[in-house]
Every structure is written in structure tokens, then in C-alpha cells.
Structure 1
């Protein structure tokens, strides 16, 4: 399928590893220029080296999306290097899982700030460029957790809020042919989830209870993002694409 992403430029936040790294790789495979943004600059650089070894055109940028000044600098560097910004993937996020009676303000704030405030800062920074060129794709990485998970009040609230943000932005941006959508992954096989002490139990349970009986891969999410970023999805906006194997 021709995606029309060749020579487009995309920013992927939290792309130093996991789902973000897979998305960056998928966009590179489609011929796009990619900015690999991460708070861990060494991880971002390592991903860029791998992408360049495959013939891709990539740039590593350190950015903490919680801070607007760092986001603005990231977008300015993107435009200075590649001449434009066409795609934004708001992927940066983290978890601080625990029951709410043990959750501190700091546990709540860091999760909500990175996911929601980070997406706000990045979207605000790229939208003027997308509006001017009358073309843009903003894809927010939500989660099946937007439906609620025990021990994840902060994460579930942030990911649900991201869907509301997605729909509001789609209404603001549509007149300039900028689409805004969300992808909501289920259980995805990443280094972060494999590091959990009960990973084997999670995987076994997923294989038993998910209609498609396997754990998702980061590439499954990357494929969904590539579709929503493509010309083929130009009339889809304000929607949520679940990548869960049918688990809700």
C-alpha cells in the first residue's frame, strides 16, 4: 500500500525504546525523515544510529516534554534540519502503578504531566507549521487502560484524557487538513513490560483471554500509526484505533 510518507518529516516522542522506537523505524521504512525524541539522549542516539545504518534519515533530540521550552526547541530543530514537520506522534509516557490509597501526589503528577501536558506542549508547538502547510498528522498513543485498570488510576485517567484531547484537537485542526487520532494498544511485548516480575503470568493470561491469543508486538502498534499518518487515512480524524487483539 502506498502511504505517501516519503520525504515527510515526523517527530516521535519517547522513541528511545519500545513502542516509540518501533514507530520511528516504521516511518523510516516508509521513506520519512524522523526525529527520535527522548528524555534519554543516549537511547535516542542509539536508535538513530540503527536507523541510519538501515539507510534512514534520522535525528536524535533530547527533550523532556513536560517543559514547553524544550519542546519548542525540539520543533525548531526539526524544522531547521528537515525544512518542515508533518507528523507528530505523542508517545512519551510512563507508569507509577499502585492502589490509590498508597499513591502520592508525585506519583499522580508525573504520569499525568508526561502524558497529557507533554502532548499539549508538543501539539501546540507543531500545529502552526501544519496549519500553514495545510497538511498534518497528529497521533496520540493512548492505551486500552483508558477503560480503567486497578492500580492505574493515574495512568488510566491520563490515557482517557488523551482521547478527549484527541477529539478536541480534531475539531480545531480539521479545517487545515490536519487529522488528529489516537491509537490504544493493549498488552504489548516491550522491554518495560518484560522487566515486570510477573511478566510470565501476564503473557500466559493474555494468551488465554485475548480473542487473538497472543501478546501484541510493538510493530503492531507501529503499523497502525503508519496507516493513520498516511494519505490513506486523510478522512479519518478524532478516532481511536484499538490495537488489542480484540481485548476490551
Structure 2
């Protein structure tokens, strides 16, 4: 039942970025937490409650499945006016097959945005987590055109030949790496494409592109992908990013201080993207 406080959705809530975002955004809003694993999600929710946060609801499951994103949005709107969404859920190349990556990074994201767009609240701010990989992936019109209709039933089958065509001898994870790059490029493009209509409704949408991050997923990626060491060596600020680096950016972007920022991407990468240009993998 709504209590007058605003509500915030955090997806991927049990991940490193998700946990940090929940603690930052939960200072000014009731939380609706989403993640795949119900047990871990409930454990985190109980931990937050013990710390004094209000967790209005948890929604466990795969957001790429029909109806689940709508459940999360409905739960947030039942708790209070929906103020912010931090969509941190996603899968990296070493942790999932190419189709799992596309379902998590593209299809789930699209379903969440469609659920929100059914009734955009004035003042809503949504932050989608992209990646520096989205900036390192060149434009490919045929791939972009397919991804412009991400809920088409045969999207994955039609994309697979394009991903296979992007493979090179250095790809250690098969089509997962190009799938990740094109999915994160799509996130950046979708924020820009949707922002004008959102702005006319009084809402904002932005993306954040992390570099090499000291999170459980980031460390697992580094362990399974030697190319991550190349990124680390070419990050000019000389360190990995942290979950709090991302949470601080999301906190700002969803606040009134960022009320004139929409339809753009913020790189939080320690200058790794310019540092990597021209580096051979």
C-alpha cells in the first residue's frame, strides 16, 4: 500500500552494482528489488531492512520473460510514486552464452521499458547500465536494424549469423563477446532514441557505461577473459572501478540535480574507452 514516499526499482539487485545502488537510492525512496535468485534476493532484502531501509517488494525471476517486468513496475507503483529505476541486471561474455546475454541485456531491458512506458510518471528517471564495450563496438546497420525490434520472436535466430560473422581468432568466448558488444551498444542507442518522447511526458532516461569494475561479475569476467587484463593495463586512472563509483553516478542522474540530463550516456570508466582505442586484443 502506498505510504506517500517515492518508490525506486533496482534490478540485478544482488549484484555488486545493484547492492550499491539499492543502498544509495534507498535513502530517499522505498525499494522494489528484482533479481533471478529468490533466495539471494530475499536475503539481501532482509539485510537492508535490518539496516533501516524500506523494501516494499521483491520480484524474483527472469525479466526477459513476459509479464515479470510489469510485475515489478506494478509493485513499485503500488508502493508510491515511481521516482527512479536503476537497471543494473545484465550478463557479461564469460558468464553466459550469446543468447543468454541478448535475453538479459536486450530483451529484458526492452520489456522493462515497455512496462514503464505504459504510464510514464512525470519526474521519473531511469538509468540503464551499458558498458564501455558499447562504445568500442562499431555501428553495423544490419545488426542495429534487427535490434530495433527486440521483441520479435525470431530475433535471436536472425542475429546469430551476424554474430558469427563478427568472430575473429582472438575471440575466446565465441559469439558471446560480439553479442555483449552489440547489446550494450543497443542500450546506449535506445536511451537516445527514447529520450524525446520521454521528455515530453516529463520523464528522463540515461545510460551509464562502466569500465573494468571490482564487482563479483567484473572479477569473474577478468578471471575468465584475459582481454580484461588489457583493459586494466589501459585504464589511465590506474585502478578498477568500484560498485560505489557506479552507484554515485546513478544517485546523481536520478536526482533533481540532473533534471536537464536525458538521452545521453555517461562513461564511468577511468578513461579506459579512449585509452583502449587503437589497442589490439
Of the three residues 127, 140, 147, the one matched with 2:135 is 147
Contact 2:130 2:210 in 1 (8 A): yes
Cα separation, partners in 2 of 1:197 and 1:93, compared to 1, 3 Å: closer
In the TM superposition, what are the counterparts of 1:34-113 in structure 2 within 5 Å? 34-58=31-55, 59-80=57-78, 82-97=79-94, 107-113=97-103
Provide the residue aligned with 1:241 in structure 2: 266
- SS of 2:32's equivalent? strand
Residue 33 of structure 1 pairs with residue 58 of structure 2: no
Structure 1: gaps (5+ residues): 1-5, 99-105
Provide the residue aligned with 2:251 in structure 1: 226
Structure 2: gaps (5+ residues): 138-169, 172-176, 274-281
Provide the residue aligned with 1:179 in structure 2: 204
Cα separation, partners in 2 of 1:210 and 1:27, compared to 1, 3 Å: same
- Structure 1 ranges of 4+ moved more than 4 A: 199-208
Provide the residue aligned with 2:18 in structure 1: 20
Which structure has the larger Rg? 2
> Structure 1 residues 58-67 or 89-98, which shifts more?
89-98
- SS of 1:75's equivalent? helix
- SS of 1:130's equivalent? coil
Count of residue pairs the alignment pairs up: 232
Residue 137 of structure 1 pairs with residue 125 of structure 2: yes
TM (norm. structure 1) is 0.85
Cα RMSD (Å): 2.5
Provide the residue aligned with 2:110 in structure 1: 120
Deviation digits for residues 176-222 of structure 1 (CA, Å, limit 9, x no counterpart): 11011000000000112323574897787556432211110001000
TM (norm. structure 2) is 0.75
Provide the residue aligned with 1:211 in structure 2: 236
